[in-house]
Amino acid sequence: MFGYATVVRGKSNRGLYLRLGGWLLFLAIFLFLYASRPNFFEGQLQTAASESVLVAYALYLLLGSVRGFTLIPSATLVFAAIPLFPPLPLFVLTLLGILVSSASVYYFSESLHLDEYFAKRNREGVERMKRTFHTNQLLIIIGWSFFPLAPTDLICYVCGILKVSFSKFLLGILIGEGTICGIYIFLGDKLLRFIHLRA
């Protein structure tokens, strides 16, 4: 933390600390609920869906939009929502949540000036990573976003730190994450129909 403060001392340390502290607090609360009450978010979605589908849609979009700051995979939220929502609205809401979440993480990581911190600590490693990444940016972003075991939010942080073109970054995330989530949603719907849990 002190090394970080030294690197960014030319910036407004108070603002940086507030953003970093707010993020860590949010992360701690979200992860506590996720770990201590695994069905908490699913239960909230079910309750909302039983009262109003529009409220449930809004809650799902909200959770999808802030989820990126927690590094919890988007699939967790998608799987909780598959039994509750029709596939097409769920897919559209998932894409919107991914776009908002990814854009937020991209700009958030940039605002923390993490690029300066890592460059100061390991300039050679950062430059090597930049060279590798910049040769095939779009393919790397798509592949990383699509691969189920790779946390997509991590690539959002990396793209923000390396100052990858925002439009190229969002396109890659949309193709990769959108494809894998579409597979989850539409195959999940087919499975529910096959075992007669959905009409």
Q: What is the DSSP string of 14-41?
A: HHHHHHHHHHHHHHHHHHHHHHH-TTHH
The answer to whether 93 touches 49, Cβ cutoff 8 Å, is no
What does the pLDDT read at residue 79?
92
What does the pLDDT read at residue 45?
85
Q: Could you read off the pLDDT tens digit of each residue along the chain, which spans 199 residues? A: 445 445 445 555 677 677 777 777 877 877 777 677 767 777 888 888 888 999 999 999 999 998 888 877 888 899 999 999 999 999 999 999 999 999 988 988 777 766 666 667 667 766 777 777 778 899 999 999 999 888 888 888 888 888 889 999 999 999 999 999 999 999 999 999 999 878 6
Q: What Cα–Cα distance (Å) separates residue 94 from each residue in 23, 30, 42, 170? A: 22, 19, 15, 14
Could you state, in order of their start, the residue ranges of all structural domains in the chain?
2-194
What does the pLDDT read at residue 125?
67
What does the pLDDT read at residue 168?
93
What does the pLDDT read at residue 16?
67
What does the pLDDT read at residue 1?
47
